Structure 1
Amino acid sequence: MAIAAPLWVAAQNAILKGKITDAATKEAMAGATVTLLDYNLQTQTDANGSFSFNKLRNGNYQVQITFLGFKPLVKAISIKDDTQVDLALEKALFLADEVIVSATRASANSATTYKNLSKADIEKNNLGQDLPFLLNQTPSVVVTSDAGAGIGYTGIRIRGSDATRINVTINGIPYNDTESQGTFWVNLPDFASSVDNIQIQRGVGTSTNGAGAFGASLNIQTSTRYDSAFAEVNNSIGSFGTIKNTLKVGTGLINGKFSIDGRLSRIKSDGFIDRGFSDLKSFYVSGAYYGKSSILRANVFSGAEQTYQSWYGVPEAKLRGSQADLLTHYFNNLGSTYFTQQDSLNLFNSNPRKYNSYLYDNQTDNYQQDHYQLLYAKEINSQLSFNGALHYTRGRGYYEEFKHQEDFEDYGFAPFLIGAETIDKTDLIRRRWLDNDFYGLTYSLNYKPSKALDFTLGGAYNEYKGAHFGEVIWARFAQLDNNKQRYYDNDATKTDFNVFGKATYSLNNFSIYTDLQYRRVNYSFLGFNNAGNNVQQRDILNFFNPKLGLTYQIDKISNVYASFARANKEPNRDDYTESTPGSRPLAERLDNVEIGYRYLRKNVTAGFNLYGMFYKDQLILTGEVNDVGAYVRDNVDRSYRIGAEFDAKWQISNQLSWATTATLSQNRIKRFSEFFDVYDASFDYLGQRENQYTNTDIAFSPSFIASNEFAYKPIKALEIALLTKYVSDQYLDNTSNNARKLDAFFVNDLRLSHNLNFRGVKNVNLSLLVNNIFNEKFESNGYTFGYILDNNLITENYYYPQAGTNFLLSLSAKF
């Protein structure tokens, strides 16, 4: 690249400049986005509507101009020397689909730390891996995969916060599971193929719908209007028997008012981990009506998954220990984890990085989730607009597992005698079911009486009904009625109401932002009373979440901002059901401070921010047994995350771009206690021992995260990109103990993309993604537990190894 640099400079001397105006009023349009298609060059017009691109090669270019509320314009430009082009945009005949998510989005001058990903950003990495892996190059993100290859059960953390603390909405509708508060992307395979754009807000962010954002928000918008009919076929193959097939079709606008588009997908993979297969299917259908001042859109999408369980992880003694370490682990867990000769052979003979403890053929997770959305937006007049949505989600499924030597009393079986021997244990196969319904409405009313004032009133009401039950479908020694026996059955109901009002007022170069939200949660569930008996219980929580921000526009290309935001969050299902009212944990509170600087120029975008996230009563695992004998999370009085984030992209030339992110943070718990179970030499339980800690690291919170992407286009149709990710050490628990941690990892991926032109075909793309090109051996997730046996501390660490060098090859055609 260095040798070729003088040649690039010599060939890049032309200047393209111009002015964008409103075709009707002839007024200059400030803030219009101007893009040189195929070259990743983008800028915005200044206060006079002017723009320019410097150091361009002579040749032909496609210039695209977009502005919300106006028709996009694409103009072919031929450049020989310095060129001036003046263009006018016409008012759009229809509302833009973006109004549907505008109520929960941060804007360009918002005092919020965020990252926008366009459809093109998502498409270039979408070769079959789950959505979290497509976000891996964004700031403060760490992703993981149970099966090791990014397909199946995958997870994401942002600023060290896990999925239960990341608020996810799809078209403004909550997606997080209502009770566990997690997100399970395995239930929406290949969903990225139906996504138009994503905004990632880090920290508390703006008011949104669903559970409180305690680390970040993912605000997803699905496919928007296509004016022309289209069809697209995308097929991928890859390592570990991976196959992805996607078909997309759309009618375009029919009679200038109607459109229908859809997608059908299938993904299959054997997984990197032994038997860690995934069999995933999904579809997406959307129909829309566009009036002169309104949009009515109906979305139906669904995902069905079967995955072999790879939830257990690999014991540290197996992954990196000596034979003596492995034998010690084996005998410590004989009779609790390892029962049969097959278990033993599997442990000692399998590949250490691919080991899966499960051997039962149908040790699978099976679930289907169907989503129905009806979205409506109306421009009442030039100052007032409304949008609302009705939604319904139906979910049902189970996971099946083989269990050794289970106690009869846990399943409602009666012991019996065989000769003089009492039989009160049995091998069995069980299914644990979840059957749920989630429905509700969201709304927002936007009032903009002048350029200086923008006010939004919004909110939502949602209800969840979940049935939890378990069935024994086979038992070696017990008698089943009708080939199955239900051994637990309980229902839960949860309602979630919120209303928010937010306003932005601009004065000269200042913009003041306020956002006030009230949220009420009502949860009814089967739990324990103070006597330790199971009874139906209820908890009602009321939260007030205020936010305040200030932005100062330094000049046309840069601004600074500062904000304060508070969020409150209720405990999750296990915290409630495995405790009594006396031991039930408190709700958590987060105070978030953000200070940042944003810079946007013709070929450089950059953002730098400082953040502080200060928790009251954060919930963490301590190992303590509560009054019903359960290990649940405890509140810690004070904890915090403070850090600095950097996010930039530099279009060095038409051929070469550089994008980078970095996060440096400190994540601490002021004071907490860790508890260990204590056993004597005969494994008789003696109680618990307490260790106290101060100023320790929060689990799974690396102090340094960085990503880097160099993309080079030797010719217009070919891109070569090197993607790099570094994550520093992470602790498996909150004790800062070096014996319980994930080692730092540094992973490099290579992406090749080549566009081909054929008559009658809009585009043919051939892409190759080679992950982990240097075959780094690393683990991105894990867990730990310990106990004291005969006055000796036994620590068990488990890890989730990720795949070495592997590839995905994709061929897509657009018509």
Structure 2
Amino acid sequence: MKKLLGTLTALSTVIFVHAQFSVRGKVTDTQHQALKGVSAVFSDVKGKTRSTISQEDGSFAISGLSNNSSGSLNLEFVGKKKVSKNISVDNSDVVIDVVMEDNNFFLEPLEVKALRATDKSPFTKTNLAKAEIEKNNIGQDLPFILNQTPSVVVNSDAGTGIGYTGIRIRGTDATRINVTLNGIPYNDAESQGTFFVDMPDAISSVNSIQIQRGIGTSTNGSGTFGATINLSTNEFNDKAYAESNNSYGSFNSWKNTIKVGSGLINDHFTVDARLSRISSDGYIDRASSNLQSFYFSTAYVNKKTSVRFNIISGKEKTYQAWNGVPESMLSTDRTYNSLGTDKPGAPYDNQTDNYQQDHYQLFVNQAINNNLSFNIATFLVHGKGYYEEYKGKRNYTDYGLNNVVFNGDTITQTDLIQRQWLDNYFYGQVFSLHYKKQNNELTFGGGWNKYDGGHYGKVLWAEFGGVPSDYQWYDNNAYKTDINVYAKWLHSFNNQWSIFADAQYRYVLYKMDGFKDNPSLYIRRPFNFFNPKAGITYTNNGWTAYASYAVAGKEPNRDDFEANPVDQPKAEQLQDFELAVEKKYSHFNFGATFYYMMYKDQLVLTGKMNDVGAYTRTNTPESYRAGIELQAGAVITNWLNINAGATFSRNKIKAFTEYLDDYDNGKQVGYEHKNVDISFSPSIIANGSINFLPCANFQLSLLSKYVGKQYLDNTQDNTRKISDYYTQDVRAIYTIKHLLFKEWNIAAQVNNVFNRMYESNGAAYPYISNNVKVNDNYYFPMAGINYMLSLNVKL
């Protein structure tokens, strides 16, 4: 923390330095209407680039230009023809007004626009463009790409950011973060988690990302309960391209990606494709990853219609590392992995998770007239795979098998190898109807989807035999139906004031035909949710302020339903209040967001055990998250810019009962707690970056991250916590243009340069023995100092 505060203090001492010259102007369409959100990029003859977007009145300004500099100004906007201007600076600012003509093709991805918050929407959001995504994409998974965005905390089972990874936003875990891919739900329907490992290197095909913190606008899929992540791959590339991206780093980590695109063929057709491979030995023992994926997309466009078909496929094989390291071993063997060690001698070499997921997406966008447009998308996701485990001393009867007589003795236990399978189909449609005229923008949309999931387990081998060929010891199916409709209205009173209203109805039906450990428990639970949202926004002269109120409901997940049939979980409800102010100057910006998220019946782990011996979540009546998110950035000179952010929060459960296993008496004992911190919810999260551009085509970045203390459970017990940590990464990027190929991009990133031994995740299993509370804590250590090198070539 001291290092971070020192960095932020150093930044504040230089933040108000004047810029040099600028290119500024105004962008309008052919009807003389101001265009907001136009991307303006200035590239000088040395290869340095600076960018901005146009404001509400169409104005833009790019500062920090030195005298006698020259280059090209490129302006791009969806649905408009690209504009390029040659610019020369001669002892004064350059002022230029630009008129952008309509494109002859319908290129706007409405399936994404329907769900994303616009600049006038009163919701807290962060947008990442393609250039920012590419800069961070050197092999790690999506959560690590987002690590420098506000209120984000990431973790990795293998300790490297490759393989199984996780993300929390404002303390909200991945099962409560709604994720969509081109407007189509991505969360697993049953667990509601997001397993990015199933779609490795998808980020290499993503053109833009929007993160909404809080409830945000209505979306498709799993209930939003703290954040949304919206990914888009459907932007058009009008020029042909080919790329080769290759990375190598610590722990024998490799990333190889090939991307090609046709551009517009005969003014109407496009084809884009990608082939990827990622592998790593992992920091944790045996936590290896072997990941492959491909992406194929083809589209037809004309002036009013676009049709696109996507195939996205991912296949992963990872050695299991989800048990964590016992607390007692952190100082002596912090890479220890207990999985696979049931096998006598060397650990079992195939203690792995194996899964393939295939996405098929078909989109039709149609402009009906200048004001009205329509979108419909149909999708199918098929996932199939298993995790294989060596299990020691297992009871035959637990697998529905008869005991074995061996050498005259009755054998009741055996070592065995088992596979637990998933075979599921997820399919449906989403749609939106968008109307915009003068001061009103209306969107009506929704979708339906169905999940059909098979769960079954097989025993492959047993030490003492007694297992029939292809033996299956459980087979349980699960089904989920999800239907939603929403209406959104944005009304602008004038150039400064606008209001937003959004209402969604969502229906969910779960049906589960038993569970592995409770085959006679049949679930049929319907849920109805009404999710209203409203807010007001003010924008003027670089200032933006908004206030909003939103309500969301969320259904329990699969594990929650495995509770006692007479104690089934209730749905959760969240009310979210957001208040924000932001100011943008040509070379400096700052902002603050205040939030209060009030939960009713939030499901939390209490240690309570159900009737089959599993720990389940329990509804707690009242809890909340309250905080402030601060952000600032500045362009100090044409060779230095900085960004910093910090979140300060309180995350509390007002009252709940903790249950501990009492091994002395063979029962559970309850302890009352009041006003305690919610688990995995640090009260401070901060990030900062300093970017140096000392010469043409070279950028050096210092990336800082601080995460405050987190508790492993909801008791606020300091003996069950993850200590705070600060990490510092360094990234260098050098670009060579027009040497044999169009562009060479050489990058090096050193992570955790101070070699901090820290943990990003963990679990606690306390109990009572000999009348004493005993902590049984497990942690997921992150790698010390490590590196990645990359060479990217654009043909």
Q: Which residue of 1 aligns with 2:668?
A: 688
Residue in structure 2 matching 1:471, options 440, 458, 468? 458
Cα deviation 1:2-38 (Å, max 9, x = unaligned): 9xx99x989x74343334343x345554654433244
Alignment of 1:9-24 (within 5 A): 13-22=20-29, 24=30
Q: Which residue of 2 aligns with 1:517?
A: 504
Alignment of 1:240-389 (within 5 A): 240-320=251-331, 342=345, 359-389=347-377
Matched, 1:234 2:245: yes
Residue identity in the other structure for 2:542: I
CA shift, 1:725, in A, is 0.2
CA shift, 1:55, in A, is 5.4
Residue in structure 1 matching 2:492, options 506, 521, 526? 506
Contact 1:20 1:45 in 2 (8 A): no
The whole-number CA distance in structure 2 between the counterparts of 1:27 and 1:799 is 57
Matched, 1:191 2:202: yes
Secondary structure in 2 matching 1:737: coil
The whole-number CA distance in structure 1 between the counterparts of 2:197 and 2:518 is 36
Matched, 1:801 2:781: yes
| Distance 1:409-1:98 versus aligned 2 partners, 3 A rule | same
Residue identity in the other structure for 2:42: L
| Distance 1:322-1:41 versus aligned 2 partners, 3 A rule | closer
Cα deviation 1:764-798 (Å, max 9, x = unaligned): 10000110111011000000001112212221000
| Distance 1:30-1:274 versus aligned 2 partners, 3 A rule | closer
Q: Which residue of 2 aligns with 1:349?
A: none
The whole-number CA distance in structure 1 between the counterparts of 2:259 and 2:23 is 37
| Distance 1:477-1:304 versus aligned 2 partners, 3 A rule | same
The whole-number CA distance in structure 1 between the counterparts of 2:22 and 2:342 is 74
Secondary structure in 1 matching 2:774: strand
| Distance 1:43-1:105 versus aligned 2 partners, 3 A rule | closer
Contact 1:583 1:627 in 2 (8 A): no
Cα deviation 1:250-304 (Å, max 9, x = unaligned): 1110011000010000011000111111000000000010111111111101000
Residue in structure 1 matching 2:175, options 164, 168, 184? 164
Matched, 1:596 2:580: yes
Cα deviation 1:468-493 (Å, max 9, x = unaligned): 000000001132222x3101101111
The whole-number CA distance in structure 2 between the counterparts of 1:26 and 1:500 is 33
The whole-number CA distance in structure 2 between the counterparts of 1:382 and 1:318 is 66
| Distance 1:678-1:25 versus aligned 2 partners, 3 A rule | closer
CA shift, 1:51, in A, is 4.6
Q: Single out whichever of 383-392 and 64-73 deviates more from structure 2.
A: 64-73
Cα deviation 1:294-338 (Å, max 9, x = unaligned): 111111010000000111110001113899xxxxx99xx9xx998
The whole-number CA distance in structure 1 between the counterparts of 2:355 and 2:341 is 28
Residue identity in the other structure for 2:610: N
Cα deviation 1:186-239 (Å, max 9, x = unaligned): 111111100000000001000000111111000110152111111000111100
Residue identity in the other structure for 2:724: A
TM-score (norm 2): 0.94
TM-score (norm 1): 0.92
Q: Which residue of 1 aligns with 2:134?
A: 123
Cα deviation 1:350-388 (Å, max 9, x = unaligned): xxxxxxxxx210000000000000011111011111111
Matched, 1:753 2:733: yes
CA shift, 1:59, in A, is 1.2
The whole-number CA distance in structure 2 between the counterparts of 1:503 and 1:420 is 78
The whole-number CA distance in structure 1 between the counterparts of 2:753 and 2:502 is 46
Q: Which residue of 1 aligns with 2:42?
A: 36
Matched, 1:72 2:99: no
Q: Which residue of 2 aligns with 1:492?
A: 478
Contact 1:527 1:580 in 2 (8 A): no
Residue in structure 2 matching 1:428, options 396, 401, 416? 416
Structure 1 residue runs without a partner (length 5+): 324-328, 344-358
Q: Which residue of 2 aligns with 1:792?
A: 772
Q: Which residue of 2 aligns with 1:526?
A: 513
CA shift, 1:417, in A, is 3.2
| Distance 1:231-1:693 versus aligned 2 partners, 3 A rule | same
CA shift, 1:608, in A, is 1.2
Q: Which residue of 2 aligns with 1:417?
A: 405
Residue identity in the other structure for 1:181: Q
Alignment of 1:139-158 (within 5 A): 139-158=150-169
CA shift, 1:43, in A, is 4.6
Q: Which residue of 2 aligns with 1:740?
A: 720
Contact 1:16 1:56 in 2 (8 A): no
Contact 1:18 1:52 in 2 (8 A): no
Q: Which residue of 2 aligns with 1:351?
A: none
CA shift, 1:157, in A, is 0.4
| Distance 1:775-1:49 versus aligned 2 partners, 3 A rule | closer
Residue identity in the other structure for 1:642: A
Q: Which residue of 2 aligns with 1:59?
A: 69
The whole-number CA distance in structure 2 between the counterparts of 1:394 and 1:265 is 20
Structure 2 residue runs without a partner (length 5+): 1-6
Residue identity in the other structure for 2:782: Q
Q: Which residue of 1 aligns with 2:629?
A: 645
Cα deviation 1:75-124 (Å, max 9, x = unaligned): 22122222333332111112233423111100001100000000011000
The whole-number CA distance in structure 2 between the counterparts of 1:19 and 1:626 is 64
Contact 1:707 1:724 in 2 (8 A): yes
Q: Single out whichever of 743-752 and 604-613 deviates more from structure 2.
A: 604-613
Contact 2:39 2:51 in 1 (8 A): no
Residue in structure 1 matching 2:544, options 552, 556, 559? 559
Q: Single out whichever of 113-122 and 755-764 deviates more from structure 2.
A: 755-764
The whole-number CA distance in structure 1 between the counterparts of 2:769 and 2:319 is 34
Cα deviation 1:98-152 (Å, max 9, x = unaligned): 4231111000011000000000110001000001100000000000110001000
Secondary structure in 1 matching 2:349: coil
The whole-number CA distance in structure 2 between the counterparts of 1:56 and 1:26 is 32
| Distance 1:785-1:9 versus aligned 2 partners, 3 A rule | closer
Cα deviation 1:396-439 (Å, max 9, x = unaligned): 00000000000111111111334663211100000000000000
The whole-number CA distance in structure 2 between the counterparts of 1:459 and 1:341 is 54
How many aligned positions are there? 777
CA shift, 1:627, in A, is 3.8
Contact 1:40 1:651 in 2 (8 A): no
| Distance 1:780-1:496 versus aligned 2 partners, 3 A rule | same
The whole-number CA distance in structure 2 between the counterparts of 1:276 and 1:48 is 51
Q: Which residue of 1 aligns with 2:4?
A: none
Residue identity in the other structure for 1:403: K
Residue identity in the other structure for 1:185: F
Contact 1:413 1:478 in 2 (8 A): no
* RMSD, aligned α-carbons: 2.5
CA shift, 1:582, in A, is 1.3
CA shift, 1:451, in A, is 1.9
The whole-number CA distance in structure 2 between the counterparts of 1:340 and 1:472 is 16
Cα deviation 1:547-574 (Å, max 9, x = unaligned): 1111122x23112111111111111001
The whole-number CA distance in structure 1 between the counterparts of 2:518 and 2:341 is 32
Q: Single out whichever of 719-728 and 648-657 deviates more from structure 2.
A: 648-657
The whole-number CA distance in structure 2 between the counterparts of 1:337 and 1:636 is 37
| Distance 1:708-1:715 versus aligned 2 partners, 3 A rule | same
The whole-number CA distance in structure 2 between the counterparts of 1:511 and 1:676 is 52
Q: Which residue of 2 aligns with 1:610?
A: 594
Matched, 1:395 2:383: yes
The whole-number CA distance in structure 1 between the counterparts of 2:452 and 2:538 is 46
The whole-number CA distance in structure 1 between the counterparts of 2:661 and 2:28 is 72
| Distance 1:186-1:497 versus aligned 2 partners, 3 A rule | same
The whole-number CA distance in structure 2 between the counterparts of 1:492 and 1:341 is 36
Contact 1:297 1:374 in 2 (8 A): yes
Residue identity in the other structure for 2:330: L
Q: Which residue of 1 aligns with 2:96?
A: 85
Contact 2:39 2:77 in 1 (8 A): yes
